[in-house]
Amino acid sequence: MNYTDLQNKDPKELEQMVKDLRVKLGKFRFELANKSLKDMSQIKQTKKDIARVLTALNRANIKSKCQNPNVKSMSKSK
């Protein structure tokens, strides 16, 4: 999964992907506890995928806030 692929997706799709990846990570952890997980790197890769999707989701949220004129600026004013 590439970050560039995620940039074009809808925020709803990204949220669903995060849910699915977290369920997948839970299954891997369960398999690890039962000593039935064959490839330990799957856990690491799934965590990285979750981080990529969350990054894309946060970018999409920030972008939508910047495009909305009713929302105040993200920077702090003194």
pLDDT of residue 77: 57
Q: Assign 75 a pLDDT band (cuts: 50, 70, 90).
A: low
pLDDT of residue 3: 81
Summary mean pLDDT of the chain: 87
Percentage of residues in the chain having pLDDT higher than 70? 86
For residues 50 and 25, is the Cβ–Cβ distance under 8 A? yes
The span from the CA of 29 to the CA of 62, in Å, is: 32
Pull the structure tokens for residue 40. Answer: 């330990």
Residue range 48-69, pLDDT digits in tens: 999 999 999 999 888 888 876 6
Sketch out the chain's domains with CATH numbers. 9-67 (1.10.287)
Q: Count of H helices and E strands in the chain?
A: 3, 0
pTM reported for the whole predicted model: 0.79
